């Protein structure tokens, strides 16, 4: 273990020991996963952690599907209709609706009911013992047409159950990185990772922030791993190798194909994508898994650097993803239609 | 009647200005010209002040406030995307891992120089559904 309890850090955070004295790294458990912050100069760490804490708590209160008192849960407990939601939730839903349009429906925030039907209706840790023999009856995905957002007014159609999993964590990483950077003296740079959805802000270290891209989290020393350097923007990975459970004798995973309401099937088990924002990277990596054999074609339209790993372990690099270990991710001049944390709550 | 006269407000003609009245006209014109002059200078000063303030604010505001999470913000939040800072550190080992979303990972620098990762499956609030 590389973490040290440091009483000088904010509660919950542990300092991560690195070989590089020019940066400070800390992590904590958050959102059911790990939040990690790396920054330079190291003296600014506490200010950055405070800013990240605020953003994590805000996102959890706004958009968590598993938290009973979250704003999203409260909205979905009511009957369909019109709701006045907070700016933050409006933004999160707006980004999800944008992602649905951008990916031509490969990711869809209305897969909530389908996930419930598949058995992903509680914290993941509680699924497995309960549902292995339960019947499998996929639910229809109503599609984003059942959701309308006008500013902070959310219109939810009948039968629509939202799940913002394809974009919310990326959006949270974007928000946290921005807040952390502004929370410091805006000198140097910061990297924020929420469960592997990574955004950087400010000036990177020389050559960029080194990030390990791991296909299978259980096999980190094999050919499936690669170190890349991220100087700007964000990177996210989606994989069907984690969070699996069994229903009706069938092994299921959490990435739902909105066209079928069932777990996505295709030649790729892991997709990593770099983009200017982590919300985009997150949406694109999920879309690539869902697209299946169409993943390469769809990713080509985005011009985003991407790394696909097939079920046989074969790796396919797209959009200028570096071939060499330690290579720098370079984003194109206009990789995709932008999604803004600020403009998303409008006409989506 | 007496009473009426007493309560009626008296109308008093103002005394004529000294001179023949032409001077009064000149005075009035001069006053107006002065006011116009003053207005012109005030407006000019205001324009200069607003311009200077805008320029100062444009430099002072952080880049991040205008850098959305959009794809066109290629430099990322508030940064250039290039390590132009002379004091930017060299970072040799990975500081983070991107893997299956929601999996908790720990990076350990190994003696061989490459990072190793241990991980555990967690209850993630936001999966990639």
CA distance B114 to chain A (A): 9
CA distance B55 to chain A (A): 20
Q: Is A44 in a helix, a strand, or coil?
A: helix
State how far the Cα of A237 lies from the Cα of A67, in Å rounded to an integer: 24
State how far the Cα of A222 lies from the Cα of A213, in Å rounded to an integer: 11
The residue among A236 and B50 whose pLDDT is bigger is A236
Look up the CATH architecture of domain A65-156.
Answer: Orthogonal Bundle (1.10)
Residues A114/A118/A123/A124 CA torsion (nearest 10 deg)? -130
State how far the Cα of B30 lies from the Cα of B27, in Å rounded to an integer: 5
Mean pLDDT of B104-109: 45
Residue count of chain B, please give it: 129
State how far the Cα of A71 lies from the Cα of A343, in Å rounded to an integer: 20
User: For position B32, what pLDDT does the model report?
Assistant: 64
**pLDDT at residue B6 tops 60:** no
Residues lower than pLDDT 50 in chain A:
1, 129-130, 334-348
CA distance A53 to chain B (A): 16
Mean pLDDT over all residues of chain A? Answer: 85
| Record: contact B98-A66, CB cut-off 8 A | no
The answer to whether A265 and A250 have CB atoms below 8 angstroms apart is no
The answer to whether A211 and A309 have CB atoms below 8 angstroms apart is no
CA nearest to A102, candidates A281, A318, A255:
A281
Count other C-beta atoms under 10 Å from residue A77's C-beta.
8
Interface of B with A in 82-121 (CB under 8 A): 82-85, 87-109, 114-119, 121
Mean pLDDT of B52-64: 48
Mean pLDDT is highest, among A42-51, A140-149, B29-38, B102-111, for A42-51
| Nearest-by-Cβ selection for B83 from A21, A25, A204 | A204
User: For position A247, what pLDDT does the model report?
Assistant: 64
User: For position A303, what pLDDT does the model report?
Assistant: 95
Establish if A132 touches chain B: CB-CB under 8 angstroms.
Answer: no
User: For position A1, what pLDDT does the model report?
Assistant: 39
User: For position A278, what pLDDT does the model report?
Assistant: 97
Residues 6+ apart with CB under 8 A from A170: A197, A199, A234, A236, A277, A278, A279, A280, A281, A282, A283
pLDDT band at B18 (very low <50, low <70, confident <90, very high): low
**pLDDT at residue B68 tops 60:** no
**Which residues of chain A are within 8 Å of residue B119 when distances are taken between CB atoms?**
217-218, 220
State how far the Cα of A319 lies from the Cα of A276, in Å rounded to an integer: 14
User: For position A248, what pLDDT does the model report?
Assistant: 61
The residue among A10 and B47 whose pLDDT is bigger is A10
**pLDDT at residue B16 tops 50:** yes
Mean pLDDT of B64-81: 41
CA nearest to A154, candidates A105, A96, A114:
A96
- Count interface pairs A-B at CB distance under 8 A: 322
Interface of B with A in 10-69 (CB under 8 A): 62, 64, 68-69
State how far the Cα of A271 lies from the Cα of A196, in Å rounded to an integer: 12
User: For position A263, what pLDDT does the model report?
Assistant: 80
| Record: contact A31-B73, CB cut-off 8 A | no
Give ∠ CA A276-A282-A283 in degrees, rounded to 5.
Answer: 100
pLDDT band at B113 (very low <50, low <70, confident <90, very high): very low
**Which residues of chain B are within 8 Å of residue A333 when distances are taken between CB atoms?**
74
State how far the Cα of A332 lies from the Cα of A316, in Å rounded to an integer: 19
Residues 6+ apart with CB under 8 A from B116: A220, A221, B107, B108, B110
């Amino acid at each position: 273990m590389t973490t040290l309890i440091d009483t000088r850090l904010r509660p919950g955070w542990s300092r991560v020991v690195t070989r590089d004295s020019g940066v400070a790294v800390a992590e904590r458990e958050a959102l059911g996963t790990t939040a990690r912050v790396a920054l330079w100069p190291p003296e600014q760490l506490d200010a950055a952690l405070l800013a990240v804490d605020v953003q994590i708590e805000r996102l959890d209160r706004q958009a968590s599907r598993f938290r009973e008192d979250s704003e999203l849960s409260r909205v979905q407990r009511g009957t369909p209709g019109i709701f006045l939601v907070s700016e933050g939730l409006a933004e999160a839903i707006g980004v999800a609706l944008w992602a649905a349009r951008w990916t031509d429906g490969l990711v869809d925030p209305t897969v909530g009911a389908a996930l419930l039907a598949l058995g992903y209706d509680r914290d993941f840790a509680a699924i497995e013992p309960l549902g292995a023999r339960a019947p499998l009856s996929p639910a229809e995905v109503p599609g984003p047409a059942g959701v309308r957002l006008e500013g902070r007014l959310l219109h939810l159609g009948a039968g629509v159950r939202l799940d913002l999993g394809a974009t919310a964590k990326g959006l949270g990483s974007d928000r946290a990185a921005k807040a952390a950077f502004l929370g410091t003296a805006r000198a140097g740079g910061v990297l924020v990772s929420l469960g592997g959805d990574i955004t950087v802000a400010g000036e990177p270290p020389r050559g960029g922030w080194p990030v390990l891209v791991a296909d299978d989290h259980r096999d980190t020393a094999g050919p499936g791993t690669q170190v890349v350097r991220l100087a700007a923007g964000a990177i996210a990975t989606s994989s069907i190798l984690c969070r699996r459970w069994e229903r009706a004798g069938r092994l299921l995973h959490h990435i739902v194909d909105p066209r079928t309401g069932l777990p996505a099937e295709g030649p790729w088990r892991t997709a990593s994508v770099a983009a200017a924002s982590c919300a985009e990277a997150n949406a694109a990596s999920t879309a690539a898994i869902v697209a299946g054999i169409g993943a390469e074609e769809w990713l080509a339209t985005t011009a985003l650097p991407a790394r696909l790993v097939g079920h046989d372990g074969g790796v396919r690099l797209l959009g200028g993803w570096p071939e060499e270990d330690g290579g720098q991710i370079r984003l194109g001049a206009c990789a995709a239609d932008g999604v803004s944390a600020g403009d998303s709550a409008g006409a989506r | 009647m007496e009473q009426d006269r007493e309560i009626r407000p008296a109308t008093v003609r103002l005394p004529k200005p000294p001179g023949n009245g032409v001077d009064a006209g000149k005075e009035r014109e001069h006053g107006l010209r002065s006011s116009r002059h003053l207005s012109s200078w005030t407006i000019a000063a205001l324009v200069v002040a607003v311009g200077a303030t805008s320029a100062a604010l444009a430099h002072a505001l952080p880049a991040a406030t205008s850098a959305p999470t959009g794809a066109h913000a290629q430099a990322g939040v508030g940064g250039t995307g290039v390590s132009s800072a002379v004091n930017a550190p060299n970072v040799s080992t990975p500081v983070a891992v991107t893997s299956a979303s929601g999996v908790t990972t720990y990076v350990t620098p190994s003696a061989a120089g490459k990072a190793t990762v241990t991980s555990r499956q967690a209850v993630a609030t936001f999966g990639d559904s």
